[in-house]
Amino acid sequence: MALLGNNVFIVDVPKELQTREDMTFTTVKIDKYELNGWKFNDAALENYALLYVMDEKGNMVYYQYEATEKTLQIYSGAAAISQTAYDQYRKDVDASLKKHKMVIYGLGGGCVLLAGLSAFLFFRRKKTVKYQKRPVSSSGRDAEADTLRNISDD
């Protein structure tokens, strides 16, 4: 059949394809024909419908129909979204990015604080006791110990 200048063949939509997110499977009226298709649940897209047909080459394709201009074009698969929904989406994304930035700044500040605390504790620690060298007698014994021993022998 010729539908708005496109030669297509009407096919039954398989059960597994009848459910689409944010769309309702229903009958769509185009020119003098009533075809199975989908309508968008969003009120801002009430003039749009989606059809599942077979083209002249035998390929199963989706066509998007716009009722006010009565145009039919191959559906690109891009999700249709109203301006209000898009604005809300952008607002949500911006809020999420702001929250992520704050988390990153907080983690960075915490790392700087920990590095400063570690440096403070490292330089504040007690100095180690340094040992002095004592002269050793020729016999290999400690001279001071020999002196003390000699005193005690008396």
H or E element that contains 69: none
The pLDDT assigned to 87 comes to: 83
CA distance 1 to 30: 12
Q: pLDDT of 94-139, one tens digit each?
A: 999 999 999 999 999 999 999 999 988 888 876 666 767 766 655 5
- pLDDT of residue 24 exceeding 60, the answer is yes
- 17-26, 28-37, 50-59, 88-97: which is most confident: 88-97
Burial 92-101 (b: 16+ CB within 10 A, else e): eeeeeeeeee
Q: Average pLDDT over the chain, rounded to whole? A: 81
Q: pLDDT of 62-71, one tens digit each?
A: 888 888 888 8
Token digits for 117? 């605390």
Token digits for 79? 């999700």
The pLDDT assigned to 137 comes to: 56
Where do the domains of the chain lie?
A: 2-80, 81-124
Specify the pTM. 0.51
The pLDDT assigned to 129 comes to: 66
* 140 or 35: which leads in pLDDT: 35
